[in-house]
Structure 1
Amino acid sequence: MFVKNLLPAFLAIGSVAAQSGCTFSTTTINSQAEATELASCRTVKGTVVVGSKSGADIDLTGPREITGDLIIRKNSQLENFHSSTLESVGGKFEITNAIKILTLNFPKLTSVDEIEWVTLTALNSLTLGPLNRAKSIRLSDTSLQDLDAFSLSSVSNLKLDNNARLTKYSSDLSTLEGQLIIQANGLNLEVDLPKLIWANEMAIANVTKFSIPQLQVVNGSARFDSNFFETFSAPNLTHTEKGDISFVGNGYLNNMTFPKLTDINGGLLVANNTGLDRVTFFPKLQRVTGAIKLRGNFTEIKFPELSIVKGAVDVSSTADIKKSCDKLSESAPREQGGDGSFEGVFSCTANNDKANEDTDGSTSDSGQVDSGDEDDENSASGVALNAALFGLVAVAAFASAL
């Protein structure tokens, strides 16, 4: 029999059919016949593994609950995996490197601790309960065209990447407790999160639309790189708790609106968005506890309410922004002739043909003005950003861990 490590009590019964619960450490299914042996186990107390030589079709109908993991790895035979009874998986539902899977059909599955589906290049049909409870989801390298099978109001981590046919994602998520990473999916991907109020970390790339009309707070950082949207709006965002806001390399972007944003408890980076000619979209911004770095084709820069910047302010444009530089210089450190609203080094450069080439968030020093005897010109030329600027290390670590 394929079942391993059965408890003595189970063996005493002498029949799987007589059990409402079957307990074992790990069971490996290598055929439909072995899957059928679980048909009368209402609860599978352990982990189920579908082996690499399972055949083309596995029907796991029978169990309603798997308390451990449900795992498929390096399976080049399986094409259809389904169960008409399974309602929950207590651990991880993992499918990796299963390149022939066309269909996943679990019409009653509503609860999973974690989903990790990676390199399911043929998967184009997905049916779930729909799924309304999961702590973490990663979908990578599939052929899914929509994610209607998911109906989540809260999730810790959500990563969608390299799903080449995915062109629309709409979700009723209201909170994101971990990280939202969306990148390298289908052309013209539109993301709509109409009920999202609170998010921890966001890294968004290669999308054509990103709608967050109700978002009020970002606990960590929000990073938007290499997108295709022309406009971006966060009409209800008021502050970041401890993170940064970053827009880099969004070549079609020509307008942004942040009408209620007052505090960025981190840094602000706007760079190499070649269609963006004005930085006038922070009318209420009062405080930035990190650094500000602006690079682009700006003709005008205004921060009418900005009164405190703890880090450096480093601005450069390909256009003539002398008037904007003169206005910003009024807030420079006292050592540079300003009123001290900017506590770090202030630098503002106009007519710089290479302004769009310097787009990283690296750090050269603390951003504080040297109180020694070096001349003001040398002090002002330092490019200074916070060492923690934009949380790039944290985002990269999360992405690689998934």
Structure 2
Amino acid sequence: MIVTKILPVLAAVGSAVAQSSCKATTTTVASQAEATKIASCKKFEGSVVVTGDGGIDLSGPSEITGDLKVFNISNLDYITSSTLRKVGGKFTLQALEKLNRVEFPSLTEVGSLTFQALPALDAVTLGPLSKADEVAISDTFTSRVDMINVTTIRSLDINNNKRLTSFVSALQTVTGALKISANGIGLGLEVELPNLIWANELAIANVTTFDVPSLRVVNGSARFDSNFFESFIAPNLTHTEKGDISFVGNGALTNLSFPVLTELGGGLLIANNTELEEIDAFPKLRKVGGAVKLRGSFKDVDFPSLEVVLGAFDVSSTEDIRKVCDKLKELAPAHQGGNGKVEGTFTCTSDNAAANEDTGAGSTGDGQIDGSDDESSAAGVVFNTALFGLVAVAAVASAL
């Protein structure tokens, strides 16, 4: 009789112990032996912090509801789990000098993913990852990120991965910022996003191609700086809601095309793209909500459908564009002799040797229309300060 009463009690105690081992605010795994703390859990409710070196296998749970964090370990070679499918919080691998292998073949969902300062990381295996709110991959040795296969994401930041030369993704929507820069050192990065339709912010630098054939709307700004591509085409982009479009310092760019773009919520900045001879990429652009600033070595400028520019219109080239200036003068405010389509200050200068040096978004002309035969005055135009209206995209960085 006593035994029959004790056994259920012991069973209940055992069950409580097992249950408590699968629930904790934070569990620290300092060695492979300590990984057994969660090995029997199907679902671990809480966060896991790995502090051990060598190699850590976290196989057992299919879900960690909190964070999975591994950082500042000098001798961790690999981390793996054959069972983990979901991390509800942050999956962070940071400042791991010797980490060369990450294997989570079942992992398809995380709250956020950050791989940062992993100079030896080469082999990465994920589910692939199909659901994540934020992803940042920075300063790694990996040559592929095709394990990131999300269709909707808030932010994606891929930077300073020196062996990464290709990124192809099924991404459709970016509700925050898409930032890509400084990858494929010496080679550049080819980016193909065939399904991307809507993006809030784009900040793209140092890529050899950026293919977005389906992109229709950019809610904020789209900034393209110091890229290696010869051509950029956005065949289906119709408008930006409130942001700017800028191309600065793209030294190989010869072809720029936005064939159906009708409206910019912000401004337009095209500067120091020295091989771009004509700025005629916007045949249907009717309205610019900010200002237009053009700097370069172009010989022609044409906006055949332009009806209103709420800010300034400022053009300067190293080439002889006196006839271009005469044509564009028609857009100037009434007090400058134009039809008033430009509501801000109008300035156009020809033969300006320093035109490619002025790439900032904050200066516009002082009202002088320099399309005359006096070439000596072109390089000497004095600029004052006026509202340009370009909102700069945030520097490429990812906060954990």
Residue of structure 1 in register with 2:167 after alignment: 169
Q: What is the SS of the residue equivalent to 2:38?
A: coil
Q: Distance in 2 between matches of 1:16 and 1:123?
A: 40
Q: Distance in 2 between matches of 1:224 and 1:22?
A: 48
Residue of structure 1 in register with 2:323 after alignment: 323
- Out of 99, 112, 137, which is 2:135 matched to? 137
Q: Distance in 1 between matches of 2:384 and 2:278?
A: 22
Cα gap change, 1:368/1:400 in structure 2, threshold over 3 Å: closer, same or farther?
farther
Q: Deviations over 1:318-377 (max 9, x none)?
A: 00111111111111011111111000000000000000000111257xx8979xxxxxx9
Q: Distance in 1 between matches of 2:118 and 2:307?
A: 51
Cα gap change, 1:219/1:159 in structure 2, threshold over 3 Å: closer, same or farther?
same
Cα gap change, 1:152/1:31 in structure 2, threshold over 3 Å: closer, same or farther?
same
Q: Distance in 2 between matches of 1:12 and 1:295?
A: 77
TM superposition score normalised by structure 1: 0.90
Q: Distance in 2 between matches of 1:166 and 1:16?
A: 48
Q: Deviations over 1:107-133 (max 9, x none)?
A: 100000001111011111011111100
Q: Deviations over 1:24-47 (max 9, x none)?
A: 111111100001221101111111
Cα gap change, 1:388/1:42 in structure 2, threshold over 3 Å: closer, same or farther?
farther
Letter in 2 for 1:152: V
Residue of structure 1 in register with 2:360 after alignment: 360
Letter in 2 for 1:235: P
Of the structure 1 ranges 169-178 and 11-20, higher mean CA displacement relative to structure 2 is found in: 11-20
Q: What is the SS of the residue equivalent to 2:33?
A: helix
Contact 2:316/2:350, CA 8 A, preserved across alignment: yes
Q: Distance in 1 between matches of 2:300 and 2:149?
A: 43
Q: Which runs of 5+ in 1 are unaligned?
A: 1-10, 371-376
Q: Distance in 2 between matches of 1:162 and 1:359?
A: 24
Q: Which runs of 5+ in 2 are unaligned?
A: 1-10, 369-376
Contact 2:363/2:383, CA 8 A, preserved across alignment: no
The CA deviation at 1:14 is: 4.2
Cα gap change, 1:220/1:385 in structure 2, threshold over 3 Å: closer, same or farther?
farther
Contact 1:217/1:240, CA 8 A, preserved across alignment: yes
The CA deviation at 1:150 is: 1.5
The CA deviation at 1:382 is: 4.0
Letter in 1 for 2:249: G
TM superposition score normalised by structure 2: 0.90
Correspondence list, 1:287-306, <5 A = 287-306=287-306
Contact 2:89/2:112, CA 8 A, preserved across alignment: yes
Is 1:113 the equivalent of 2:111? yes
Contact 2:103/2:126, CA 8 A, preserved across alignment: yes
The CA deviation at 1:395 is: 1.2
Q: Distance in 2 between matches of 1:265 and 1:252?
A: 27
Cα gap change, 1:22/1:55 in structure 2, threshold over 3 Å: closer, same or farther?
same
Q: What is the SS of the residue equivalent to 1:328?
A: helix
Letter in 2 for 1:130: P
Residue of structure 2 in register with 1:6 after alignment: none
Letter in 2 for 1:266: G
Q: What is the SS of the residue equivalent to 2:331?
A: coil
Contact 1:314/1:383, CA 8 A, preserved across alignment: no
Contact 1:293/1:385, CA 8 A, preserved across alignment: no
Contact 1:233/1:258, CA 8 A, preserved across alignment: yes
Q: Distance in 2 between matches of 1:145 and 1:400?
A: 20
Q: Deviations over 1:78-116 (max 9, x none)?
A: 111000000000000011101111111001000000011
Is 1:268 the equivalent of 2:268? yes
The CA deviation at 1:55 is: 2.1
Q: What is the SS of the residue equivalent to 2:235?
A: coil
Letter in 1 for 2:163: R
Cα gap change, 1:211/1:17 in structure 2, threshold over 3 Å: closer, same or farther?
farther
The CA deviation at 1:290 is: 0.1
Contact 2:108/2:130, CA 8 A, preserved across alignment: yes
Q: Distance in 1 between matches of 2:71 and 2:246?
A: 37
Cα gap change, 1:381/1:326 in structure 2, threshold over 3 Å: closer, same or farther?
farther
Correspondence list, 1:309-348, <5 A = 309-348=309-348
Q: Distance in 2 between matches of 1:277 and 1:384?
A: 28
Q: Distance in 2 between matches of 1:21 and 1:217?
A: 49
Residue of structure 2 in register with 1:395 after alignment: 394
Q: Distance in 2 between matches of 1:244 and 1:46?
A: 42
Is 1:99 the equivalent of 2:115? no
Q: What is the SS of the residue equivalent to 1:92?
A: strand
Letter in 1 for 2:352: N
Q: What is the SS of the residue equivalent to 2:290?
A: coil
Q: Distance in 1 between matches of 2:196 and 2:386?
A: 30
Is 1:149 the equivalent of 2:147? yes
Letter in 2 for 1:206: N
Q: Deviations over 1:228-285 (max 9, x none)?
A: 0000000000000000000000000001111000101101000000000100111111
Alignment length, in residue pairs?
377
Contact 2:21/2:37, CA 8 A, preserved across alignment: no
Q: Distance in 2 between matches of 1:228 and 1:262?
A: 27
Letter in 1 for 2:347: S
Q: Percent same amino acid among aligned pairs?
A: 54
Cα gap change, 1:109/1:17 in structure 2, threshold over 3 Å: closer, same or farther?
farther
Q: Distance in 2 between matches of 1:41 and 1:291?
A: 59
Cα gap change, 1:259/1:268 in structure 2, threshold over 3 Å: closer, same or farther?
same
Q: CA RMSD in A?
A: 2.1
Q: Distance in 1 between matches of 2:357 and 2:85?
A: 52
Residue of structure 1 in register with 2:278 after alignment: 278
Q: Distance in 1 between matches of 2:299 and 2:257?
A: 17
Is 1:178 the equivalent of 2:183? no
Q: Deviations over 1:50-72 (max 9, x none)?
A: 01xx1210000001110100001
Contact 1:138/1:159, CA 8 A, preserved across alignment: yes
Q: Distance in 2 between matches of 1:226 and 1:106?
A: 35
Letter in 2 for 1:244: D
Letter in 1 for 2:251: G
Contact 1:262/1:285, CA 8 A, preserved across alignment: yes
Letter in 1 for 2:96: A
